[in-house]
Amino acid sequence: MALTKEQIAQRIAQELQDGYYVNLGIGIPTLVANYIPEGMQVILQSENGILGMGQFPLPEEVDADLINAGKQTVTVNAGASFFDSSLSFAMIRGGHVDLTVLGAFEVTDSGDIASWKIPGKMVKGMGGAMDLVASARNIIVAMQHCSKDGESKLLKKCTLPLTGINCVKRIVSDLAVIEVTDRGFKLLERAPGVSTESIIAATAAPLIVEGEIPEMNLPVW
């Protein structure tokens, strides 16, 4: 069965390591924060100027001067710091962030990503996404494998304006975990109960399948 958004976040959380500095984009990536393994210290960066972002506030804690990059009210943990945008992106551009997780409209098997504009229809703007994908040491894309119309979003070539090229390292979709290798997409894991064949069918670009593909190891919940 295809993963829920929460399960995608849960699977991505398995990529975290103790001491990681992580930037989580808007949407599914934000949910990753809920699944940081017990006892592991992961420090969340929010590009509007926070290191050490915490959980959402209690209603009485809400503060207009304390928001995240998604403009949601947040809190901070002990050891946090606030800083201006130029320093925030110095961290990002300088490669100090260990892992970036973000959403996408489309991803290609050479690691290109499109995420900020649908010509003639919708322009959100790139915000910090172009800076993040151009400089992050490790980039995981959290996305639905296919559009609502059933079109694959994992392509040979993006149809939408690009956010960055040759940058995505790994994709965690509702159907699979896929690595972007020099040879293209490589299937690493299947969502529980989803067949390799159906993943191949849902992937518009060629998919390297080597040996038996294990199911994701997600805790029952």
Partner 1 sequence: MNKVYKSANQAIEGVKDGMTLMVGGFGLCGIPENSIKALLELGVKGLTCISNNAGVDDFGLGLLLKNRQIHKMISSYVGENAEFERQLLAGELEVELIPQGTLAERCRAGGAGIPAFFVPAGFGTEVAEGKEMRDFNGKPHLLEYALTADFAFVKAWKGDTHGNLVFKQTANNFNQSMAMAGKITVAEVEELVPAGTLDPNYIHVPGIFVQRIFEGKGYEKRIERVTTR
Annotated catalytic residue 47: yes
Is there binding between residue 91 and partner 1 (CB under 8 A)? yes
Strand ordering across the sheet containing 154-155: 113-114, 106-108, 154-155
Is there binding between residue 15 and partner 1 (CB under 8 A)? no
| 182 three-state secondary structure | coil
In this structure, the strands spanning 106-108 and 113-114 are antiparallel
DSSP letters of 87-99? HHHHHHHTT--SE
Which of residues 33, 145, 164, 185 is near partner 1 by CB under 8 A? 164
Task: Decide whether 28 or 92 has the Cβ nearer to partner 1.
Answer: 92
Task: Decide whether 165 or 200 has the Cβ nearer to partner 1.
Answer: 165
Which of residues 6, 15, 27, 96 is near partner 1 by CB under 8 A? 96
Is there binding between residue 208 and partner 1 (CB under 8 A)? no
What binding mask, one character per residue, do residues 16-45 give for partner 1 by CB under 8 A, x or -? --xx-x-------------------x-x-x
In this structure, the strands spanning 170-173 and 139-143 are parallel
Q: How far is the CB of 114 from partner 1 (least distance, A)?
A: 9
Is there binding between residue 49 and partner 1 (CB under 8 A)? yes
Judge whether 217 and 191 are in contact, CB under 8 Å.
Answer: no
Is there binding between residue 156 and partner 1 (CB under 8 A)? no
Applying CB under 8 A, the site for partner 1 has a residue count of 74
User: Residue 8 contacts by C-beta under 8 Å, 6 or more apart in sequence?
Assistant: 28, 31, 142, 172, 173, 174
Task: Decide whether 163 or 203 has the Cβ nearer to partner 1.
Answer: 163
Length of the chain: 221
Q: Which of 6, 15, 38, 47 is catalytic?
A: 47
Q: Which has the closest alpha carbon to 81: 122, 21, 39, 139? A: 21
Name which of residues 169 to 198 contact partner 1 (CB under 8 A). none
| 194 three-state secondary structure | coil
Is there binding between residue 112 and partner 1 (CB under 8 A)? yes
Is there binding between residue 220 and partner 1 (CB under 8 A)? no
Which residues are the active-site residues?
Answer: 47
